[in-house]
A and B are shown apart, each in its own frame.
Chain A
């Protein structure tokens, strides 16, 4: 399924909106290892990431069904695993609800809301006059294939019937990857009515396919056949917790510069008629963009009434209108990384959650760690980069790609249209770019006073202005560099240090396709650090976004 996010629009070297950090690491790996676009291969990559973590206890197929609460604090969660006939009582200091529906928080008695707020509640122009219980509906997708020979389709008796008139606002000319507008359930309870919604969505989805195959309006579909379709409704909206801050339309439209920014978003404010496909005379969505990428504050992930509960993803503390933008998966992923990093920082500091989020020093430590991990936070720069103290020279540089840019603290260009608020960035490519004819590109940092370095981080260009996601829709796929590394990324390079132990090659990276290169080091009295580039993944010149020495 498409991991949608902020990168539906962008411009090279001006507006780089794609999410970075863990989600970028996963997507880049998926692109290289999964040119066949198999959904199972994405599952495998995620599974491998789990298994690679020694500090992680992974309980798959396990569902939280109860919470033991004392006062305003969760003491334990109770979970069951049917596959092994086991149950678990899990005690923790911090509990995090990323379940989408908010089951853990719901069981713990965390305050939440559902439905659509009235305009007057948060002064939102996109809201309705009166509050109602309606939500975004759920969807079922399918994939289909051209089998090269006629493929008849007989729908079940209970499939719905659709005419071309019924679908006049819903484009169905491409058949390989279903339709998000096969949507139903927005006027129901998307949790309690989920089984009914699934049944109706199957009837709708198969009815739409019946229309394509058998109505006579689409004769070119004769050789096409269903290949896969879901039985699990793709749920857009259910519960939203009430946090220490409720993110609103005004917050995201003004791109408020939150002190505790922990993630960002940039999908449009994407609302749908609650009647879904039954709103036959309406467009299936309304998608105004916010003027800028916007920050999401930590406080919208902190429960307002349960002291050790955090949440991220669909159950974020946000109004319906703000949620209509934050709800997409890549935005949820960066929320998850932001919140996870903050939770780990609180644990590391041995602070209870209710104290940690109130302390600006703890929040700042988590923000700096996120930047170190390659996450983008509007308006924030990584501090303490020893490379900034060095004199920097290079084999060549372009006018808009000076070598000094590798220490300017910016890890992407976002000054262009639909970038970030002008006061939160500065114009420029923010990367070193060599002349295309440079046959032996290198860049060198030289310190007047030698430094000690324990970690080197190199940030490379992975084309963040472009769309990149696992996708089965060919028209979107054609906008990507899928199935291979991104052309801008360095493929092979060496890092050479000159310190108290003389000249040492500390890394020789081959076949790279990742954006973030983390190199633990023990370098004392470091005088120079030299980057020698052997090849890119296709671009005719070298680009390096940032070099960080700590």
Chain B
């Protein structure tokens, strides 16, 4: 068999890259105000679940 990696095309209003606490807090409220907030599709790219330190 011969193989090739698929590339998918996505369209969105807002792309948020990041899976730390900033990214998480960022996207959550985009979609939790039905009717009053507009966020058609918001890809969330968690590069890794980072743990950071004070």
Q: How far is the CB of B26 from chain A (nearest CB, A)?
A: 3
Q: Please, how many angstroms separate the alpha-carbon atoms of A64 and B13 in the complex?
A: 17
Q: Please, how many angstroms separate the alpha-carbon atoms of A376 and B24 in the complex?
A: 18
Q: Please, how many angstroms separate the alpha-carbon atoms of A98 and B14 in the complex?
A: 12
Q: How far is the CB of A157 from chain B (nearest CB, A)?
A: 27
Q: Please, how many angstroms separate the alpha-carbon atoms of A59 and B52 in the complex?
A: 21
Tell me if B42 and A332 are in contact (CB < 8 A).
no
Tell me if A64 and B53 are in contact (CB < 8 A).
no
The answer to whether the Cβ of A143 comes within 8 Å of any Cβ in the partner chain is: no
Binary contact readout A59-90 vs B (1 if CB under 8 angstroms, 0 otherwise) = 11111100000000000010100000111111
The SS class assigned to the A binding surface is mixed
By a CB distance below 8 angstroms, the chain B residues around A373 are 29
Find residues 10-54 in chain B having any chain A CB closer than 8 Å to their own CB: 10-33, 37-54
Contact check: which of A2, A55, A335 meets B41 at CB < 8 Å?
A: A55
By a CB distance below 8 angstroms, the chain A residues around B42 are 55-57
Tell me if B26 and A98 are in contact (CB < 8 A).
yes
Tell me if A340 and B27 are in contact (CB < 8 A).
yes
Q: How far is the CB of B44 from chain A (nearest CB, A)?
A: 5
Tell me if A77 and B7 are in contact (CB < 8 A).
no
Q: How far is the CB of B9 from chain A (nearest CB, A)?
A: 5
Q: How far is the CB of B29 from chain A (nearest CB, A)?
A: 6
Q: Please, how many angstroms separate the alpha-carbon atoms of A56 and B24 in the complex?
A: 11
Q: Please, how many angstroms separate the alpha-carbon atoms of A59 and B46 in the complex?
A: 7
Q: Please, how many angstroms separate the alpha-carbon atoms of A95 and B21 in the complex?
A: 17
Contact check: which of A22, A63, A95, A103 meets B25 at CB < 8 Å?
A: A22
By a CB distance below 8 angstroms, the chain B residues around A347 are 13-14, 38-39
Q: How far is the CB of B51 from chain A (nearest CB, A)?
A: 4
Tell me if B45 and A50 are in contact (CB < 8 A).
no
By a CB distance below 8 angstroms, the chain A residues around B19 are 60
Say yes or no: A87-B15 contact (C-beta < 8 A), given A64-B47, A337-B25, A344-B38.
no
Tell me if A98 and B38 are in contact (CB < 8 A).
no
Tell me if B18 and A344 are in contact (CB < 8 A).
no
By a CB distance below 8 angstroms, the chain B residues around A141 are 53
Say yes or no: A46-B5 contact (C-beta < 8 A), given A59-B46, A236-B53, A344-B30.
no
The answer to whether the Cβ of A99 comes within 8 Å of any Cβ in the partner chain is: yes
Minimum CB distance partner of A137 in chain B: B53
By a CB distance below 8 angstroms, the chain A residues around B47 are 62-64, 99, 103
Tell me if A341 and B29 are in contact (CB < 8 A).
yes
The answer to whether the Cβ of A235 comes within 8 Å of any Cβ in the partner chain is: yes
Contact check: which of B25, B30, B38 meets A333 at CB < 8 Å?
A: B25
Tell me if B5 and A87 are in contact (CB < 8 A).
yes
Tell me if A94 and B13 are in contact (CB < 8 A).
yes
Tell me if A332 and B45 are in contact (CB < 8 A).
no
The answer to whether the Cβ of A49 comes within 8 Å of any Cβ in the partner chain is: yes
Tell me if A104 and B17 are in contact (CB < 8 A).
yes
Minimum CB distance partner of A343 in chain B: B14
Q: How far is the CB of A377 from chain B (nearest CB, A)?
A: 14
Contacts A59-B44, A180-B54, A313-B18 aside, 14 further interface pairs with beta carbons under 8 A come to A22-B24, A55-B39, A56-B27, A88-B7, A94-B13, A234-B52, A236-B53, A314-B22, A332-B21, A336-B25, A336-B26, A340-B26, A343-B14, A347-B14
Lowest 8 CB-CB distances: which A-B pairs, in order?
A: A98-B18, A313-B22, A336-B26, A55-B31, A234-B53, A98-B23, A333-B25, A340-B26
**27 A-B contact pairs sorted by A residue (CB < 8 Å):** A3-B21, A4-B54, A21-B25, A22-B24, A22-B25, A49-B24, A49-B28, A55-B41, A58-B43, A63-B47, A86-B6, A88-B10, A89-B10, A90-B12, A92-B13, A93-B13, A95-B15, A96-B16, A97-B17, A100-B22, A230-B51, A267-B54, A336-B21, A337-B25, A337-B28, A344-B37, A348-B37
